């Protein structure tokens, strides 16, 4: 695919599995792609062996992808994909801000709610690089599958429809299909809450509660996700799509999900420290859970599954007591 003549280069902030996979997407779309990573070993591995041995081992990367440890090397990019973990995004964007020109399209690819501020990633970008043109990329996508070129569909949202369409066309490949939208809040709210619900689904799976309970949790969890997204100003139609329901179904249905794997470990009786011990990649839901709980309380939105998950992660309640608490809630209309 040949990119429009006005945009030929892409920068990626974040050298984890998802950042590496998106760099692969950009390169396949015909963009000259530079990936910034904090870890010197990741930079060296990509530049010398065309593989991210730390976070995406075993997958051959496009040899045109260049890696760097200097954010200034992304200054000339026509589009930047910000893929640093949600709790580190502010620091990464603050460091990149001196190199970002006015109007630079920045696609936010991290999923979460910032602890302390309770802000979504678009709000973090507005505070750190206010002159940027923001966008949100979210949807059901495992990094390894995307990097290998397996078929994937996602939501790409910008406030301006033409901008969303242009960026979707820019990074699309035969196997990577962005659907464009204008509801950035809905797109990022879905991605933030689904990680918390994926931990809950992992707990259900790890406790052996059955497929019926698993399906019920996804469905009732989706109701919580939708209520919170709408309360934030998003649209119910948006979260009923790839960036909400689609992402929720994927993340809650496979141990490939870092968040679900944490829940599986908790459900099988491990402590949170034990569940996280061998994980290099970040499970965003662990950090987002307390922020989602606080945000829901601030907005007076009922999110019992997210609350119970946050309480388990905080050590405030045991798994079995949390499950009993959810099952003993008063009956209500669906």
**CA–CA distance, 238 with 212 (Å, rounded to integer):** 26
Tokens of 222: 């989706």
How far apart CA 111 and CA 259 sit, in angstroms, is: 12
The active-site residue, picked from 8, 111, 119, 194, is 194
Q: Is 194 a catalytic residue?
A: yes
Q: How far apart are CA 107 and CA 125, in angstroms?
A: 10
Beta bridge partners of 82: 13, 108
Residue pointed to by tokens 């490939």: 256
Q: Kindly give, in sequence order, each residue whose CB lies less than 8 Å from that of residue 281, ignoring residues fewer than 6 positions away.
A: 16, 17, 55, 258
Judge whether 270 and 211 are in contact, CB under 8 Å.
no
SS3 90: helix
Cβ atoms 168, 177 nearer than 8 A: no
The SS3 of residue 160 is coil
Q: Which residues are known to be catalytic?
A: 194
């Amino acid at each position: 695919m040949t990119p429009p003549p006005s945009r030929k280069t892409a920068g990626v902030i974040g050298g984890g599995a998802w950042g590496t996979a998106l760099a692969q997407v950009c390169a396949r779309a015909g963009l000259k792609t530079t990936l910034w990573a904090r870890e010197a070993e990741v930079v060296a591995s990509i530049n010398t062996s065309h593989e991210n041995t730390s976070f995406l081992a075993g997958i051959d990367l496009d040899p045109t992808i260049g890696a760097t440890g200097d954010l200034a090397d992304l200054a000339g990019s026509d589009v930047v994909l910000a893929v640093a973990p949600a709790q580190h995004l502010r620091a990464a964007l603050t460091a990149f801000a001196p190199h970002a020109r006015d109007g630079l399209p920045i696609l936010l690819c991290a999923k979460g709610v910032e602890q302390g501020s309770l802000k979504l990633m678009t709000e973090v970008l507005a505070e750190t690089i206010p002159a940027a043109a923001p966008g949100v990329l979210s949807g059901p996508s495992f990094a390894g599958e995307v990097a290998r070129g397996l078929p994937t569909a996602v939501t790409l949202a910008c406030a301006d429809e033409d901008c969303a369409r242009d960026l979707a066309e820019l990074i699309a490949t035969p196997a990577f299909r962005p659907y464009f939208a204008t509801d950035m809040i809905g797109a990022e709210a879905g991605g933030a809450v689904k990680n918390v619900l994926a931990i809950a689904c992992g707990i259900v799976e790890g406790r052996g509660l059955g497929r019926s309970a698993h399906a019920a949790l996804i469905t009732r969890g989706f109701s919580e996700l939708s209520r919170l997204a709408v309360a934030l100003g998003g649209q119910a139609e948006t979260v009923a799509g790839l960036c909400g329901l689609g992402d929720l179904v994927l993340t809650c249905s496979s141990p490939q999900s870092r968040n679900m794997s944490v829940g599986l470990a908790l459900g099988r009786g491990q402590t949170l420290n034990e569940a996280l011990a061998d994980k290099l990649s970040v499970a965003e839901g662990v950090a987002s859970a307390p922020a989602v709980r606080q945000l829901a309380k601030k907005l007076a939105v009922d999110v019992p599954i997210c609350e119970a998950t946050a309480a388990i992660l905080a050590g405030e309640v045991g798994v079995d007591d949390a499950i009993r608490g959810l099952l003993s809630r008063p009956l209500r209309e669906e």
